[in-house]
Amino acid sequence: MACFFRRSVAAQLSRICGAPEDVLVPLLSAVPVSKKQSTPDLRLAVNSLVKNGVLSPDADLQTQTERLTKQLRVDAVVEEVISGRGVINFRINKRLLVEKVLEQLRAEPQSFGVQSELLRRLRRGRTLVEFSSPNIAKKFHAGHLRSTIIGNFIANLKEVLGNEVIRVNYLGDWGMQFGLLGAGFQRLGSQEKLRENALQHLFEVYVQVNREAEHDESVRLAAAEFFRRLEQHDEQTLSLWKQFRDITVEEYKKIYERLGVRFDHYSGESFHQSRAQEVLKELRTRRLLKTTEKGKGVVDLSAASDLSSYATLVRSDGTSLYITRDVAAALDRKERFHFDEMIYVTDKSQSVHFQQLFQILRVMGHHWAERCVHVPFGLVLGMSSRLGEVVLLEDVLNEARYRMQHNMQEAKTSKELTDPELTAEQIGVSALIIQDFKGKLISDYKFDWQKVLQAQGDTGVFLQYTHARLRSADTSESLDLQPRHLVNFLITLRYKPVMMMMMMMMMMMMMILQL
């Protein structure tokens, strides 16, 4: 779609400058839409014409900019040409833009937005996306919401673009915290309470044993012993751990179903524990694993080989760490899935961890580590409900459904629905997702229920409302999307520029998010 408008501008430039259109098209860039001020749609840096031999390098740049601007003409595509400091800005005909978008949408409803010239250049292949990755034996914390929906979006987008996608949920199901939980459950746990409310009971045990461990050395020793037996595959210890894991996965699947998220593989640190020992053996053989004065096993990542930067892979007691198992997991995945790229979706606090992981893989001679990527994101601050501070995702989803249903009941224009609770659930979930995607990915943002569920503005509720209007019989002739009707409908709504662009991307968003 952008190519049509860029080629139209490039055709004018070609007549003026004498350069081929194919040379000029890549030099025209789209301008990001701003909420704070009106922005042009396309921009040409005149210096790029000089660099590509279209204009003389000897003439004054600003003089050439103003001369070109005067020669360019307003037409059916370009509504305004504006000269800037070394740049030329173009405003395009918004009505024509909407018409072209809707024509393409009607002609290619299943591939709308993903067959552009820019996206066609992307390399296709097999993509492994690791996302969500909560810890077992705990209720699904709301902190994992962002990883879940961002990772799911990336997986959906890669799939729509023609990649073969493998979705992996890498559960936190190993480590010293299970030493604490296991030792605590052996002393404080109850199988009867586990049957009644498993995750709540495990949470209570974990909180209690953590409190005790702060002041009681014997509790910490018992936890270390439990984890040691776990790493040695003691049958009784493994049986208890497996019970915790199975219970948790079944509970998580219910949450994922509500979010419309699926996984191809449920993996976890435990799957790679034995491979982690092989990794350590290989590192020792190749003399890449060094022992510190305190008995820890580390890999030197410093350029000068002076241990000024290193990653710890083995504790002084010989047990493995999270990063050890991540190295093992990466190696195993490459062998099993032969991926072309691997994407990790976690919060920004783990950025250093993944830098070290990729460095270790490169030190080991695995050049495919260059195709491993960490997608970091900011934190969600201030989630709350009628019951106070919320940390559990189930509570957040229930709260979204409750508040949305309440808003629907209060609204005078609401129609009778066959299943109002299901509608409230679907709109509430999509509102949470759209709220999450509004800001910059890397930035923290403060959660506000009122903004999430408001019916106007660039919100999930308004997106769903507009989608319903566009799909209604009154505006699209029984789901047959007619551009002449939809263009008038969009224009009469008098969107701000941000909302105009939001609506034009709406169908693609709906397809990728699978809302």
H helices present in 109-175, as ranges: 117-120, 145-160
Give the integer Cα–Cα distance in Å for 311 and 302: 10
Query: Does residue 141 carry a catalytic annotation?
Result: yes
Give the integer Cα–Cα distance in Å for 162 and 123: 9
- For Cα atoms 149, 151, 153, give the angle at the middle one, nearest 5 degrees: 70
**Catalytic site residue from 94, 100, 139, 144:** 144
Question: Which regions of 46-106 does DSSP assign to beta strands (E)?
Answer: 78-83, 87-92
Helix (H) or strand (E) holding 171: strand 164-171
Query: Does residue 233 carry a catalytic annotation?
Result: no
**Catalytic site residue from 51, 141, 242, 338:** 141
In sequence order, the β-bridge partners of residue 266 are 169
The DSSP code sequence of 413-431 is TPPP-S-HHHHHHHHHHHH
- Amino acid identity of 100? K
Are the beta carbons of 324 and 282 closer than 8 angstroms?
Answer: no
**Catalytic site residue from 138, 139, 158, 272:** 138
Query: Does residue 144 carry a catalytic annotation?
Result: yes
Beta pairing, strands 164-171 & 384-385: unpaired
3-state secondary structure 453-479: CCCCCCCHHHHHHHHHHHHCHHHHCCC
Known catalytic residues are 138, 141, 144
